[in-house]
A = this chain, B = another copy of it.
Amino acid sequence: MPYINIKITDESVTAEQKAKLIQGATQLLVDVLNKNPATTVVVIDEVNTDNWGIGGEVVTKLREQAQS
């Protein structure tokens, strides 16, 4: 019955990668807490880099700096 929400920046994550996140997070709850996978829900939010900040900086700008 766990609910897991994964928030990541929206940077070309593939459907296959999302499937791995869903499988892995569900399995983690089985392994650690013996939770029933059938009712374990995983929701992935992909957030535009303009809308994510760390250290007071917008990620869009951090990405540009990292590439220059």
B43 touches A56 (CB 8 A): no
B20 touches A32 (CB 8 A): yes
The CA-CA distance from A32 to B28 in the complex, in Å, is: 14
Q: Mark A5-34, 1 if CB is under 8 A from B, else 0.
A: 111110001010111111111111101110
Q: Which residues of B contact A50 (CB under 8 A)?
A: 15, 18
Which of B15, B24, B45 is close to A28, meaning CB atoms less than 8 Å apart?
A: B24
Q: Which residues of B contact A39 (CB under 8 A)?
A: 39, 41, 54-55
CB closest residue in chain B, given A47: B43
Q: Which residues of B contact A59 (CB under 8 A)?
A: 1
Cβ-closest 7 pairs across A and B: A22-B53, A26-B56, A42-B53, A44-B51, A3-B7, A24-B28, A5-B5
